Structure 1
Amino acid sequence: MRTTRSFDLAGILARRLAGVTGARARVRRRPEGGGYRVEVPLGCSGEAAHRELLAVLAGADRFGHRSCAGAQLIWAEVDDRPGAGTGGRTDGRGDGGPEQAGRDQESEERGP
């Protein structure tokens, strides 16, 4: 079976999201194609857990939150294209790790 970079990144996001939330993550091919969506029930609380969750989500091209039948779900998408899973960056800096989230936060606080 052939794998793609986006599929591999979706698997990494799924493992990291499961580690933070303590719930099983589900990876699916997006119905319209062009990438993968990872969904996981939100099962973490507290500021530290939320910061870690945001650090993981920074590695996705898009992410969000939704409610479904009373459950809170977090989702993240990775596109099939160059730079996928870099948070939209093409400079290779968007690996989504906690150290990246800190750099992003610092750059936003400092401004241009």
Structure 2
Amino acid sequence: MTRDWTPLALVYLALAAIGLIWTWTFNILAITQMVDFVGDLVNSGPAVSSITVDLLVVAVAGAILIIVEARRIGMKRGWLYVVVSGVTAFAFAFPLFLAMRQRHLTRRARAAAE
């Protein structure tokens, strides 16, 4: 139902869309230019390597959070967000999880109130 989409959930959903579109714009550029994607992440200098490690650690922590939080609140198939992040982008999967989490919590609160 549309009433389950709170303003916060919609913000998370918008961030997921931005994360998917923006990252895949650059992924497609890398593919069409036949760039060594992984090599560029670790061999393009200390600044790029620093950002890569920073984001990798955040992604691992976020993946753990997704699985633990989904189980805690009773969301089904929370692990699927982690899998999806591997083929899309964590910048898409994490805000999408947050949107769906918010929607799940809204539904649960509404059901408890009835």
Question: TM-score, normalization: structure 1?
Answer: 0.29
Q: What TM-score do the two structures reach when normalised by structure 2?
A: 0.29
Larger radius of gyration: 2
More helix by share: 2
Kindly indicate whether structure 1 or structure 2 has the higher relative contact order, using CA contacts under 8 Å at least 6 residues apart.
2
Structure (1 or 2) with the greater strand fraction? 1
